[in-house]
Amino acid sequence: MATTKTWYRINKNVEYSTDFDFFLKNQISFVQKDITKFVFYSRLENKFFAQKSSCLRSANNYKFTDEEILEFCREIHKEILEGKHGQGKLVA
């Protein structure tokens, strides 16, 4: 049995997947601006989601872990589905 993907439509041209793995692979982009800062963007529209800056964790470590970056992406995905980045509706 085939599964149906569900989307969160922001407008007639933009739909974000409710599937986090698809969202992570195809719909969000993040760029490391410097050793302590990441910026998160939409791949679908000219939209800035968030900027995250790390704190000094030890004398030599300012970097985010892969797990922390993944968690930031999860937070953004959740915000999209809650309508915080544009009101929309679920569509099949």
* pLDDT tens, residue by residue, 23-58: 999 999 999 888 778 899 999 999 999 999 877 555
Considering only CA atoms, which of 26, 24, 31, 3 is closest in space to residue 92?
3
How far apart (Å, rounded) are the C-alpha atoms in residues 13 and 15? 7
> Whole-prediction pTM value?
0.85
Task: Report the mean per-residue pLDDT for the chain.
Answer: 87
| Phi, psi at 25, each rounded to 5° | -75, -35
Q: Give yes or no for residue 20 having a pLDDT over 80.
A: yes
pLDDT more than 90, % of the chain? 59
pLDDT of res. 1: 45
Q: Helices in 1-92 by DSSP H: which ranges?
A: 20-26, 66-81
pLDDT of res. 34: 80
pLDDT of res. 2: 47
pLDDT more than 70, % of the chain? 88
